[in-house]
Amino acid sequence: MPKRTDINSILIIGAGPIVIGQACEFDYSGAQACKALREGLPGYFG
């Protein structure tokens, strides 16, 4: 997937309780957030 140039910051919001079937999506979104932070985008945590 090409890098989007229209995004200049990220917001990470706590997911709350995880139910069966959500683990994969949670892992993927967390990994993508970490990747964005490593690439230098400013992060805001909630």
pTM for the whole structure: 0.46
For residues 36 and 12, what is the distance between their CA atoms, to the nearest angstrom?
11
DSSP result, 1-46: -PPPSS---EEE-------TT-HHHHHHHHHHHHHHHHTT--EEE-
According to the model, what pLDDT value does residue 46 have?
52
Q: What is the pLDDT of residue 14?
A: 66
- pLDDT of 37 reads 78
Q: So what's the pLDDT on residue 9? A: 80
Convert the pLDDT of each residue in 1-44 to its tens digit: 687 888 888 777 766 666 666 666 667 777 777 787 787 777 66
Paired residues of 45 in beta bridges? 12
**So what's the pLDDT on residue 16?**
67
* Strands 10-12 vs 43-45: parallel, antiparallel or unpaired: parallel
